[in-house]
Every structure is written in C-alpha cells, then in structure tokens.
Homo-oligomer: A and B are copies of this chain.
Amino acid sequence: MGLNAYLRNAWYVAAWSTEVTRGLLERTVLEQSIVLYRKENGEVAAIGNACPHRFAPLHLGKLVGDTIQCGYHGLRFDSSGACVHNPHAGGMIPPKMKVPQYTLVERHGMIWLWFGDADKADPASIPDFSCHLDPDLAFVGGVIEMKANYELITDNLLDLAHGEFVHEGLLSSPAITNSKLETIQKGTTIWSNRWMPDGEALPAHAMLWEHFTPGKNCDQWAYMRWDAPAHMLLDVGITGLNRPRTEGAWVYGTDILTPKDAHNTYYFWGITRAYKTKDPAAGELWRQVIKGAFEGQDQVIIEAQQRMLGNRSLEEANAVMFASDVAAQRARKLLASLIDKGIVPDPQNPDLREQRRASEVTSSPITPAV
C-alpha cells in the first residue's frame, strides 16, 4: 500500500474545539488545505482554503459575519462554500465561484471532518473520547506536528514497550518487562493491553502519584484502544495493591493522528486525569511530561525513522517484525483492508463511565468484553 493511500470513509480530527474561534484556522488534512472558523451562533464551519478566483488562501482574509472575505479581491464565501458577495462593479458571481464544504461534527471537544462518501457520514463511527468533556475529570491537550507518516506514530503507540528504551528512566520498570501484552480485536477496534499487578512503579508513575511509597509494590496498567485510521485512547495508571483505581493516579491518554500528507502528521494529544482534578498544577506537570517525552524523545526517533525510510513504506523497505509488533501489525493490516474495500470503521465504543464505576472497587481495568 503506497504511503499516500488514505482511508477516505472515516472521520479525521482537524482541530481541538478550543482552537476554532472567530479567527481563521488553516489545517491541511489528507493533502487538502482547509479553513475552519466558528459562526456567530457558535457552529463550526470548514471550507476549502483555495479561493477559486486566483487561489489566494482564504485564511489570509477575514470574517465578515458568517462569511470569509478573501484577502485579495474581497469575494465572500459562506459556510457552505458558496460565493455570496462580489464587491466589484456589477457584483455578478459566476456559478462556478465556490469552494468545497466539509462535512463536520463537533464532538468530544474536537472537530471531526468527513472525507468519504456523503451517504456514509454517520457520526456513530466516531470513537468515544467523551472523557475529554467529563465534568468529573480534568483535561489538558495540544497538537504537535511531526514530519513522519502517521502509521509510524501508530506503531509507536501500539507498542508501549519502547518506553523502556526511548524514555529510559521515565517509563522503564521490570513491571513492564515481566508483564504480558494482550492483543484483542473486536469489530474494527483493537486493544493492546498490559496489566502489571504487584510490581515496581514506573518512575513516571512514582513522580505523578502523590501517595506513592518508595519500595512498595503497586498495581499498574496500560490499556491502549485503537480505532481506524489512527485514533487511540490509553487507559493508564497506578494504584495500591488491590486498591480501587480511584485511589491512585489514573489518566486517559488521547493520541489521535491526522495525516497532513504522506510525510507529515498532526498529533493531537490529550491527558484526561481522574486525580487532582481541581489542581491545575497536575495538568501543567503532564504538559511538561508530554513535551519532554513526545517532542523530546519519540518525535526525534520517529522523524529519524522517516528520514531513513525516505519514500518507502515499512513493507517496501522489508522491515523485519517480531513478537512485540503484533498489535501494530494487526492495526496496519486492518487499516489496509479497510482502505482497500472502502469500509467505514466500526468502533466498539465501550462505555468509559462504566469502567470508572467499576474502578471504585478494584485496581484491575475492565477487559473489553469480546
């Protein structure tokens, strides 16, 4: 499969909700330049960014009510992409003067765009990231641009054992090495799960959990959920031996990848924590950890991988796999088959609130019912 074959029948995140304001935001998704803004009634609009007149990018213009006025000759386009005003003599508007409108849904604090067949644009195929907006939890997030194909980043996330090497001193522990990785698939959702009972705390966990006692073993877990094309939610945390998860430090890690093009990716990351939810410093600490770990370490190695690969895919370069690659390879194959057949993903969307109710009595995460 070539690097720039994309799954069209899928929802892609173009922005965090908070990024879309009464300004003009440009994002390039699946090689298409798009401009996003919020209408006066708060709804989000997303239209093609290339003015059909002379190709000035519309995001260099300005909002006039709910229309974008092109910064070059002042044509105005509404949120459907239609040209609705020509300020010049006569004011005639040729029928072809329009840009594409993108189907979108604002959900889970994110703007999701649809690039596929119009009749298949069902928001039910958006994976569940409702934790972002859960009033009982606290959220921090951001977006990083990486110069690498998005599937190389998926590989990274579906095998967290790289932590021991890439994030040595932060994510290394015999608790990881001694635990087993479980790969589960249901519908088009894949889990890559690691349950680490009665083990030594990972240094990052020890740092984040205020009740951590040096020398005492803990229960820890890292459950990664993947949905096509590259939408991941990690359920990760630490607590006392056999203690409720809510007594520990527990977060959802959001990792949603949106291909800008075959060699560039937006990485939407989020941390939704179930502890110290009223303490902004706990969120700020996570922001620093992410900056250090993702930008300082993963990004360096992933972009270096891409440079070594050049225009080859992993397959074309004859990469040699081993056991740890099971989840990543399963995701790659599933995605390739969805692309091939044009099938819309069918995420399982297990109930996150139910997980959290159960967590009040046990440390063990709920294994998805398969």
Write the residues of chain A forming the contact surface with B, with a CB cutoff of 8 angstroms: 33, 49-50, 52-57, 60-61, 69-74, 86-90, 92-94, 96-97, 152, 155, 159, 161-162, 164-166, 177, 180-181, 300-301, 304-305, 307-309, 314, 317-324
Contacts and interface: CB of A to CB of B under 8 A. Distances in A.
A4 to B, nearest CB: 15
A162 B52 contact: no
A73 B308 contact: no
B322 A56 contact: no
Nearest to A33: B308
A123 to B, nearest CB: 31
B89 A323 contact: yes
Contacts of A72: 162, 165-166, 301, 305
A60 B304 contact: yes
Contact of A73 (B56, B94, B324): B324
Contact of A165 (B57, B74, B320): B74
Contacts of A301: 56, 60, 71-72
Contact of A317 (B55, B70, B322): B55
Identify which of A71, A92, A180 gathers the most chain B CB atoms within 10 Å of its CB.
A71
A73 B304 contact: no
A20 to B, nearest CB: 21
Q: What are the nearest 6 A-B pairs in CB distance?
A: A74-B165, A55-B308, A88-B324, A52-B320, A96-B320, A97-B320
Given A87-B177, A164-B74, A54 B314 contact: yes
Contacts of A308: 33, 49-50, 55-57
Contacts of A300: 60
A327 to B, nearest CB: 12
5 contacts: A53-B320, A55-B314, A56-B305, A74-B164, A74-B165
A319 B52 contact: yes
Contacts of A304: 56-57, 60
B321 A53 contact: yes
A35 to B, nearest CB: 12
Contacts of A162: 72-74
A90 B161 CA distance: 13
B88 A322 contact: yes
A89 B164 CA distance: 13
Contacts of A164: 74, 87
Given A71-B165, A72-B305, 5 more contacts: A55-B319, A57-B305, A69-B165, A73-B161, A89-B181
B88 A161 contact: yes
A305 B320 CA distance: 42
A55 B305 contact: yes
Contacts of A73: 159, 161-162, 165, 324
A330 to B, nearest CB: 16
Nearest to A297: B71
A323 B55 contact: no
A365 B119 CA distance: 60
B70 A165 contact: yes
A90 B319 contact: no
A74 to B, nearest CB: 4
B97 A55 contact: no
Contact of A322 (B57, B94, B323): B94
A265 to B, nearest CB: 16
